[in-house]
Structure 1
């Protein structure tokens, strides 16, 4: 009986912890890797500039910022999907950060 209580408590704790771990929304997780040209067709220069400000102000709070040209679009796409929830960015702001980084990323 004691083992059952411990097992139940452990399962409940794991469930709560998994539920509290930040996850990117379905919108962000579904974003494919896009080329610089595809991003520029979707976002104007003001939106790209806003993405830079969001990147600087939000991502720089927790760690040193990497220059966009240090990663390729695939790498930034993967990183941004993981970091958007940690930075507590909404989908729109996360997409703008992602757009800024991909437009300025190194070529593959």
Structure 2
């Protein structure tokens, strides 16, 4: 009986943790990998500059920041799908960070 009770408590704890883990919004998860030209056509210079500020102010809180040119746009896109929710960025701010990183990413 004690093992059953312990198993139920552990199972409920795991279920709560999984339910509380941040997930990327549908907008962030559905973003295609865009190239530098597509981003520049879609975002203004001031929006890309805002993305840099958001990147600098949010990403360094938890870990050492990677320089944008250390990854390709595809690599950044995959990373950001995980990291934007962890940084608790809204969709707009997440898109601006993504735009800044892709514009400054290394060539694929």
Residues of 1 paired with 2:5 and 2:31: CA distance? 42
How well do the aligned residues superpose, as a CA RMSD in angstroms? 1.2
Q: 5+ unaligned residues in a row in structure 2: which ranges?
A: none
Question: How far apart, in 2, do the equivalents of 1:63 and 1:27 lie?
Answer: 25
TM-score, with structure 1 as normaliser: 0.92
1:58-99 per-residue CA deviation (whole Å, 9 max, x = no partner) reads 111222221111110011001111111111111110110000
Residues paired across the two proteins, number: 108
Equivalent position SS for 2:23: coil
1:81 aligns with 2:81: yes
Match in the other structure for 2:21: 21
Aligned residue number for residue 100 of structure 1: 100
For structure 1, the residue ranges without an aligned partner over 5 or more in a row are: none
CA distance in 1, matches of 2:5, 2:60: 44
Spell out the pairing of 1:28-47 with structure 2 (5 A cutoff): 28-47=28-47
Deviation at 1:8, TM superposition (A): 2.2
Q: Once the two structures are superposed, what CA deviation does each residue of 1:35-61 show, in whole Å capped at 9, x if it has no partner?
A: 111111111111000000100111112
